[in-house]
């Protein structure tokens, strides 16, 4: 396993434990991996490890698993239109982030890390903390000072150490990186938006959708977009299946953002200067400059998908519509529901096409927030 810089092409060995290139660029895995064929699936395993042939290491070499993956693909109607919902909000720690975290944490444990550092106050932190608990790794989470205590309970229950940092979101990142640097190699900064192995986990979304649809792919896949790990992971997974000869086309991929925080949309419509990142109910998507934004925009274009934005009111409507058909998801996830409705209304996607909507995170973690929105 080797990593290569997305900007300058410099390569790094797997045991160097770096997360970005000396030039500042993000790292990608140097392909190719072994291709997975239908016959390679370990059918006796009912987690994402059934696709271990396509993963960076086999299940026999890992330290921590919570049975992640193989979430139900559920058919339900939104406004009378039949859709398929990939219910990743039922993952072990309550979000799709477990797919990526299980790869990153096991990789770092395997290569001798003692302590993991991440900056996040949400699902990525909960997921890292959960897998670190199982892998018996120390975990340091840096969060903005105004993060509500409620959100931190899950992270602290898993035994992670939480440090609140005053200032901007960038200050939190700087503090996390500094803590890792000052540890002289014992603590590893492993932010989920940067770490190249995170996408090796999220790509299993594509494998599962393919298998759960009876070795077929949908016409469209719709995801909420923050840093792009679900979108880019889906693209990697479908691309591998295409090159393995198991599918004949890649679905159109749609990325949905909040109007209030729209950096990908701004790039997509050719008005990058108009990007803004104001507070939004979709807190999991509030990234002003996602590091992989250009790659994500290229992927949307290559697959003939689209980027769409939704208002705060549409997000609330999306939450209600999801609950009406049994899905108790968080506001961030409702962005994808609201986006699906918009894409249908604008005839960008059609009611008779096969469309999969990714349900990324559980409402059970955000009940306070959902309650206050429903009262207003």
Residues at the contact surface with ligand PLP, assessed by CB under 6 A: 95, 97, 122-124, 224-230, 284-285, 330, 332-333, 360-361
Q: How many residues bind Zn ion (CB under 5 A)?
A: 7
Distance CA 210, CA 216 (A): 5
Q: What is the DSSP letter of 34?
A: P
- 291 lies in the binding site for Zn ion (CB under 5 A): no
**Three-class secondary structure of residue 375 per DSSP:** helix
Residue number with CB closer to ligand PLP (12 or 207): 207
In the complex, minimum distance from the CB of residue 293 to Zn ion, in angstroms, rounded to a whole number: 17
In the complex, minimum distance from the CB of residue 94 to Zn ion, in angstroms, rounded to a whole number: 35
Q: Identify what 8 binds: ligand PLP, Zn ion, none; CB under 5 to 8 Å per kind.
A: Zn ion
Part of the chain binding Zn ion (CB under 5 A), chosen from 5-13, 68-76, 268-276, 281-289: 5-13
Distance CA 306, CA 371 (A): 32
In the complex, minimum distance from the CB of residue 230 to ligand PLP, in angstroms, rounded to a whole number: 5
Q: Identify what 23 binds: Zn ion, ligand PLP, none; CB under 5 to 8 Å per kind.
A: Zn ion
Minimal CA–CA distance to 85: which of 71, 73, 68? 73
In the complex, minimum distance from the CB of residue 278 to ligand PLP, in angstroms, rounded to a whole number: 17
Residue number with CB closer to ligand PLP (132 or 281): 281
Residue number with CB closer to ligand PLP (220 or 332): 332
Other beta carbons within 10 Å of 30: 15
Which DSSP helix (H) or strand (E) runs through 331? helix 331-345
Q: Are 293 and 267 in contact (CB under 8 A)?
A: yes
Q: Given phi > 0 = left and psi -120 to 50 = alpha, else beta, which region is 159?
A: left
Q: Are 114 and 189 in contact (CB under 8 A)?
A: no
Distance CA 287, CA 25 (A): 18
Q: Which two tokens stand for residue 15?
A: 């045991």
Residue nearest to ligand PLP (CB): 361
Q: Identify what 5 binds: Zn ion, ligand PLP, none; CB under 5 to 8 Å per kind.
A: Zn ion
Q: Which two tokens stand for residue 179?
A: 């803590």
Residue number with CB closer to ligand PLP (240 or 330): 330
From the number of C-beta atoms within 10 Å of its C-beta (0-12, 13-18, 19+), residue 241 rates as buried
- Number of C-alpha atoms within 13 angstroms, CB side, residue 17? 22
Distance CA 178, CA 357 (A): 38
In the complex, minimum distance from the CB of residue 11 to ligand PLP, in angstroms, rounded to a whole number: 25
Q: Identify what 97 binds: ligand PLP, Zn ion, none; CB under 5 to 8 Å per kind.
A: ligand PLP
Q: Which residues pair with 257 in a beta bridge?
A: 309
Which DSSP helix (H) or strand (E) runs through 114? none
Q: Are 358 and 221 in contact (CB under 8 A)?
A: yes
Binding mask 15-54 for Zn ion (x = CB under 5 A): ------x-x-x-----------------------------
Residue number with CB closer to ligand PLP (145 or 364): 364
In the complex, minimum distance from the CB of residue 329 to ligand PLP, in angstroms, rounded to a whole number: 8
Q: Identify what 21 binds: Zn ion, ligand PLP, none; CB under 5 to 8 Å per kind.
A: Zn ion
Q: Which of 2, 8, 46, 301 binds Zn ion (CB under 5 A)?
A: 8
Q: Identify what 95 binds: Zn ion, ligand PLP, none; CB under 5 to 8 Å per kind.
A: ligand PLP
Taking CA atoms, 86 is separated from 149, 211, 339, in Å, by 30, 12, 15
In the complex, minimum distance from the CB of residue 324 to ligand PLP, in angstroms, rounded to a whole number: 19
Q: What is the 3-class SS of 307-321, one letter each residue? A: EEEECHHHHHHHHHH
Q: Identify what 225 binds: ligand PLP, Zn ion, none; CB under 5 to 8 Å per kind.
A: ligand PLP
- 7 lies in the binding site for Zn ion (CB under 5 A): yes
- 374 lies in the binding site for Zn ion (CB under 5 A): no
Residue number with CB closer to ligand PLP (51 or 96): 96
Q: What is the DSSP letter of 122?
A: S
> For binding to Zn ion (CB under 5 A), which residues are involved?
5, 7-8, 10, 21, 23, 25
């Amino acid at each position: 396993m080797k990593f290569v810089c997305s900007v300058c092409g410099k390569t790094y060995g797997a045991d160097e434990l770096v997360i970005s290139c000396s030039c500042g660029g993000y790292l990608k895995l140097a392909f190719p991996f072994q291709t997975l064929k239908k016959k390679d699936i370990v059918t006796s395993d009912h987690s994402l490890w059934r696709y271990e042939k396509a993963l960076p290491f086999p299940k026999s070499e890992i330290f921590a698993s919570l049975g992640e993956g193989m979430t139900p693909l559920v058919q339900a109607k939104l406004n009378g239109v039949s859709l398929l919902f990939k219910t990743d909000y039922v993952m072990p720690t309550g979000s799709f982030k477990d797919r990526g975290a299980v790869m990153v944490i096991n990789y770092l444990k395997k290569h001798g890390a003692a302590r993991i550092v991440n900056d996040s106050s949400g699902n990525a932190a909960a997921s890292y903390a959960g897998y670190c608990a199982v892998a018996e790794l120390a975990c340091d989470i840096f969060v903005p000072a105004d993060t509500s205590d409620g959100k931190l309970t899950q992270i602290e229950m898993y035994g992670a150490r939480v440090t609140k940092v005053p200032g901007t979101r960038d200050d939190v990142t700087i503090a996390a990186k500094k803590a890792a640097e000052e540890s002289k190699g014992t603590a590893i900064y492993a932010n989920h938006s940067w770490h190249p192995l995170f996408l090796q986990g999220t790509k299993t979304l594509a494998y599962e959708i393919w298998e759960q649809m009876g070795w077929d792919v949908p016409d469209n896949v719709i995801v909420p977009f923050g840093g792009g790990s679900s979108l880019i992971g889906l693209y990697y997974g479908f691309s591998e299946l295409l090159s393995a000869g198991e599918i004949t086309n890649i679905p159109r991929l749609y990325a949905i953002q909040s109007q209030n925080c729209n950096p990908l949309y701004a790039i997509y419509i050719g008005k990058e200067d108009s990007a803004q990142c104001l507070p939004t109910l979709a807190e999991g998507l509030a990234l002003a400059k996602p590091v992989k934004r250009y790659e994500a925009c290229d992927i949307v274009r290559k697959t003939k998908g689209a980027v769409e934005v939704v208002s705060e009111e549409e997000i609330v409507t999306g939450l209600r519509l999801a609950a009406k058909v049994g899905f108790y998801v968080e506001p961030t996830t409702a962005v994808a529901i609201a986006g699906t409705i918009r894409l249908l209304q604008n005839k960008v996607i059609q009611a008779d096409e096969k469309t999969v909507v990714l349900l990324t995170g559980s409402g059970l973690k955000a009940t306070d927030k959902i309650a206050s929105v429903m009262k207003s």
